[in-house]
Amino acid sequence: MSKQPPAAAGTPIDVVWLKKDVRLHDHGPLLSIAQSNRQCIILYLYEPDQLSEKTVHGSHVAFVNEGLVDLDLRLSSGNSEPTATNSDIQGDIYEHKFQCITVCHAGAAFTLRSIHKQRPINQILCHMESSHLKSFARDKAVRRWCRHEQIPIREMNQTGVTRCLSDRDDFTTKFNKFLGQPIHATPTKMQLDELRARLVKIEGDGIELHGRCHSPMKPSDMQEIASEFRCDRVQRQHGGETKAMEYFRSFLSSRGANYSTGISSPNSSWTTGSRLSPYLTWGHISLRYVIVITKQKQEELRATKKKAPSTPSPWLRSLASFQSRMHWRSHFIQKLESQPSLEKQDQCLAFSHLRRQPDDFNEKYFEAWCQGRTGFPFVDACMRSLIHTGWLNFRMRAMLVSFATYNLWLDWKKIAGHLARLFLDYEPGIHYPQLQMQAGTTGINAMRVYNVTKQGKDQDPSGVFIKKYVPELATVPDEYIHEPHKMPASLQKKCGVVIGDGKGGNEKKSIGFFQTQQSTTILSTKECICYPSPIVDEKITAKSAKDKLSAVRKQDSTKREAEQVYLKHGSRRTNGDRDGAKPKALNSASKRIKVDNAQQSLMKSWSQSQNGGASNEKQEQAKLPAGQTSDCSDMKLLHSTENPVSASSVSKSPLITSLFSKQNNANKHAEQKKKEWNCKTCTFLNDKPLGLVCTMCGSVRAN
Ligand SMILES: Cc1cc2nc3c(=O)[nH]c(=O)nc-3n(C[C@H](O)[C@H](O)[C@H](O)COP(=O)(O)OP(=O)(O)OC[C@H]3O[C@@H](n4cnc5c(N)ncnc54)[C@H](O)[C@@H]3O)c2cc1C
């Protein structure tokens, strides 16, 4: 180990600011300081403003802590191999004393300022984060401060998401370019030994840092988290790069073979799914590393297949399917990066009034859903399994959201916090676009209303999953396990389970009764265990919800707005994918976009010829990418009656004739549109031109 002289006070230092990237492999910032000869601090912060988000749960912090201990152990032992196993982490992680990582319970800008006052910062190295609004705000504040102090901040990319992406068409090219860059080498043992010698000794060097933590901070001590969420989950996955690598290895060597066929059922997906999501979210494994190593495995498999083409193997199909999902990850995160307001706002504003009318929110339904006491065994099992483990497969997550937003008619914003706290892998960039997609408010995806009873029968035919997580129903015969309320009273008695509140009461009483109980407690009357009867009629509620959504989807204004959403966010893959954004749902809109683009260029050249080449500001504006207009202004322009082109000035070529007749229709349409007005309160499009109040929400017309 080469010894460095102690830091002279005032020698500038580098700061590696760890965020959601607590790992050693493919870590640009850590490699950069490992290769340098500069003094540095490796900093991790428990940030009060970020912890106070309603989405934070103690299990998230506990998972992060395991990652910190794992990394600290590796840095301090010089054990740089990502395949190394760290048995030390199995002990009480809260006993661990940080050797290499400086951890503080304090805000980012505040801590960096404090360090800089005591030892000038030469540069800050970190990864770019595309997360919720509070983290955007935090990053902006840090960047502002860096600019003011003239401290370079290098934010490296680890997701393949592009900041300030002006055109969604460029996403894939840029993403592939990101993937094509070499994986950052893991620092060698020698580099780590040298790095350790260059770490600033905080107290030893007389540096005082507010909120310094010498050991991981327990979630139970974090006052910023609401007290009921400062706990952990019994059966969650454990954090750390070592664990992440174990999961990845076992996936590629055995578990992943039946990925394609196994991921739909909550029984099989537990093992056939990669289970990498929390590691990817918290940065304990790198996205690029997973994609590249999987690609290598795919190449090996292809080579083997060439040698023995007749040997059947599910591997290639499974890994192709897995790779698509790895790509979707960034595809979804890009949406939030490009439009952070998706956390709070409907992607397609035409749906903003839905589920937000005065009587729409039913607190009892919400509570029953949150606790897994809806009387729909499969829904309840999924919710309770999440409560225990913090993980659920994709299909069942989608089903939970579908049930909440269609059958219970709950606003996706009301359920977002609960699910985020439950998901150990909570990733805002996937969470909000997915929530909206399942709730049907994106405007560009097909409406997916899950029949929860059918899902149960398909994915858990003999009720194994249900009986595991809804033990009240353990004695129910298989033929009734999906609809226990259909059991005759005599059979209920025989099984020792009463469906309803056990008092012969009606549904509502039943919910009230269960709502006060802990989610996993089995309730009992004197003789029997109780399980609620269904809180809603599945078919009736699904139909009513579909009708309401369809009515909005059919409106021309919705379609026009959906076009804008597609331009800004839609997947450009022509075949679409089940879980990805699906242009198919927008076929007509996509066609219209093409025509409109042609119209725009024609209109521009016509107007230029009419105005002697002077540019028409409004039409220039109409050419702006969707993301650069505050609303659908470009589409409004296209349909505006200010079109300077007259029929006589147009050539009679078939293309022009057809476009011109389309333009005439558009003009007629625009006339019609002038009579419609959007409610300022609920955004509902009212078609009564002289109406003084909104038909939907009753607000007084403001325009
Ligand atoms: C309402 C809803 C909310 C969701 N919220 C999250 C979330 O907060 N964090 C999260 O990681 N996933 C989320 N997902 C996507 C998906 O359910 C999980 O990624 C998956 O279940 C994780 O298990 P796995 O690692 O075994 O996935 P695998 O099937 O093995 O997939 C590998 C990786 O690909 C990514 N991925 C898989 N499916 C999707 C998808 N549909 N969209 C985007 N990326 C995907 C994940 O990073 C995952 O780890 C959500 C899905 C829904 C329907």
pLDDT digits (tens, 9 = 90+) for 523-579: 444 557 999 999 999 999 999 999 999 999 999 989 998 888 888 887 666 444 433
In whole angstroms, what is the distance from residue 146 CA to residue 124 CA?
A: 9
Q: Tell which atom from ligand 1 comes closest to the C-alpha of 397.
A: 53
Closest CA to 205 of 119, 111, 98: 119
Instruction: Say yes or no: 36 and 83 in one domain.
Output: yes
Q: Which helix (H) or strand (E) holds 472?
A: none
Q: Is 423 in the pocket of ligand 1 (CB under 6 A)?
A: yes
The pLDDT value given to residue 522: 42
- Cα 649 to the center of its chain, rounded Å: 51
Residue 276 CA: nearest ligand 1 atom is 25
Looking at residue 513, what is its pLDDT?
Answer: 30
Residues in the chain: 703
What whole-number percentage of the chain has pLDDT above 90?
68
Is position 551 within any domain? no
Indicate if ligand 1 lies below 6 Å from the C-beta of 74: no
CA 260 to centroid of ligand 1, rounded, Å? 14
As a whole number of Å, the CA-based R_g of the chain is 29
426 part of a folded domain:
yes
The predicted pLDDT at position 640 comes to 27
Taking the centre of ligand 1 as the mean of its atom positions, its distance from the CA of residue 435, in whole angstroms, is 12
41 phi/psi in degrees, rounded to 5: -125, 135
Domain CATH for 164: 3.40.50.620
User: Parallel, antiparallel, or unpaired for β 121-127 and 153-156?
Assistant: parallel
Please tell me the distance between residue 280's alpha carbon and the centre of ligand 1 in angstroms. 10
Q: Are residue 300 and residue 353 in the same domain, yes or no?
A: no
Please count the other Cβ atoms lying within 10 Å of the Cβ belonging to residue 618: 14
pLDDT of residue 524: 45
Q: Which residue owns the Cα nearest ligand 1 atom 15?
A: 394
Is the residue at 563 inside a domain? no
Note whether 421 and 437 are within 8 A (CB).
Answer: no
- What CA–CA distances, in Å, run from 5 to 32, 132, 453, 476? 20, 42, 69, 73
> Is 627 a residue whose pLDDT tops 80?
no
Single out the residue in 229, 256, 271 at which a domain terminates: 229
- Tell whether 66 is covered by a domain: yes
27 lies in the same domain as 93? yes
Determine the structural domain holding residue 669 and report its residue range: 655-703
- Nearest ligand 1 atom, CA 427: 8
Q: What is the pLDDT of residues 193-219, one digit of tens each?
A: 999 999 999 988 899 999 999 999 999
Q: Which residue among 314, 338, 362 closes a domain? A: 338
Cβ neighbours of residue 506 closer than 8 Å, sequence gap 6 or more: none
Cα 406 to ligand 1 centre (Å)? 21
Q: Are residues 663 and 632 in the same domain?
A: no
pLDDT of residue 626: 32
> Which residues are CB-contacts of 461 (< 8 A; sequence separation ≥ 6)?
none
**Higher per-residue confidence, 513 vs 408:** 408
Query: Is it the case that residue 649 has pLDDT exceeding 90?
Result: no
Ligand 1 centroid–CA 161 distance in Å is: 16
Ligand 1: does its nearest atom lie under 6 Å from the Cβ of 325?
yes
Closest to 376 in 3D by CA, of 454, 492, 286, 443: 454
Whether residue 398 has its Cβ less than 6 Å from ligand 1: yes
> Rounded to whole angstroms, what are the CA distances from 656 to 395, 653, 659, 667?
47, 5, 5, 16
Residues 639 and 681 in one domain: no
The partner residues of 530 in beta bridges, in order of sequence, read 498
What is the distance in A from the centroid of ligand 1 to the CA of 578? 13
Please tell me whether residues 312 and 457 are part of one structural domain: no
Do 380 and 247 fall into the same domain? no
Q: Give the residue whose CA is nearest to atom 4 of ligand 1.
A: 431
Residues 255, 222 share a domain:
no
Interface confidence, given as ipTM, is 0.99
Distance 430 CA to ligand 1 centre (A): 7
Ligand 1 contact via 276 beta carbon (within 6 Å):
yes
Q: Are 101 and 249 contained in the same domain?
A: no
How confident is the model over 219-271, as pLDDT tens digits? 999 999 999 999 999 899 999 999 999 999 999 999 999 999 999 999 999 99
- Is the pLDDT reported for residue 594 higher than 70? no
- DSSP output for 129-140: ----HHHHHHHH
Residue 287, ligand 1, Cβ within 6 A: no
CATH number at residue 270: 1.25.40
Phi, psi angles (nearest 5°) of residue 466: -60, -45
Q: Judge if the beta carbon of residue 247 lies within 6 A of ligand 1.
A: no
For residue 602, is it within any domain?
yes
Q: Whose CA is nearest to atom 51 of ligand 1?
A: 394
In a domain, residue 220? The reply is yes
pTM score of the predicted model: 0.81
pLDDT over 50 at 635, yes or no: no
Q: In this structure, what CATH number is given to the domain that contains residue 679?
A: 2.30.30
What is the position in ligand 1's atom list of the atom closest to the CA of 279?
49
Averaged pLDDT for residues 107-120: 97
Q: Give kind and range of the element (H or E) at residue 189.
A: helix 189-198
425 lines ligand 1 (CB under 6 A): yes
- Ligand 1 pocket: which of 264, 391, 394, 422 to mutate (most atoms within 8 A of CB): 394
Asked if pLDDT for residue 300 goes beyond 60, the answer is: yes
Using a 6 Å cutoff on CB, does residue 361 contact ligand 1?
A: no
What's the pLDDT tens digit per position in 24-76?
999 999 999 999 999 999 999 999 999 999 999 999 999 999 999 999 999 99
306-320, 423-437, 597-611, 630-644, range with the lowest pLDDT: 630-644
Separation of 512 CA from ligand 1 center, angstroms?
A: 33
The last residue of one of the domains, among 202, 229, 256, is 229
d(CA 364, CA 326): 37
Q: Does any ligand 1 atom lie closer than 6 A to the CB of residue 264?
A: no
181 and 143 belong to one structural domain: yes
pLDDT digits (tens, 9 = 90+) for 657-669: 343 444 555 555 5
Q: Which atom of ligand 1 is nearest to the CA of 332?
A: 43
User: Which residue matches tokens 């109780």?
Assistant: 530
Total domains present in the chain: 5
Is 553 within a domain?
no
450 is in an annotated binding site: no
| CA of residue 394 to ligand 1 center, whole Å | 6
Instruction: Please give the number of the atom of ligand 1 that sits closest to the Cα of 394.
Output: 17
| Residues 253 and 195 reside in one and the same domain | no
pLDDT given for residue 623 in this prediction: 33
| Range among 158-167, 401-410, 693-702 with highest mean pLDDT value | 401-410
Please name the residue whose Cα sits nearest to atom 12 of ligand 1: 430
Among 9-23, 57-71, 404-418, 499-513, the minimum mean pLDDT is found in: 499-513
Centre of ligand 1 from the C-alpha of residue 530, in Å: 34
**Residue owning tokens 């002006």:** 166
Distance 432 CA to ligand 1 centre (A): 12
- Does residue 136 lie within any of the structural domains? yes
Same domain, 457 and 487: yes
Residue 678: pLDDT over 50: yes
**322 in a known ligand binding site:** yes
User: pLDDT tens digits, residue range 332-388?
Assistant: 999 999 999 999 999 999 999 999 999 999 999 999 999 999 999 999 999 999 999
Q: Whose CA is nearest to atom 46 of ligand 1?
A: 277
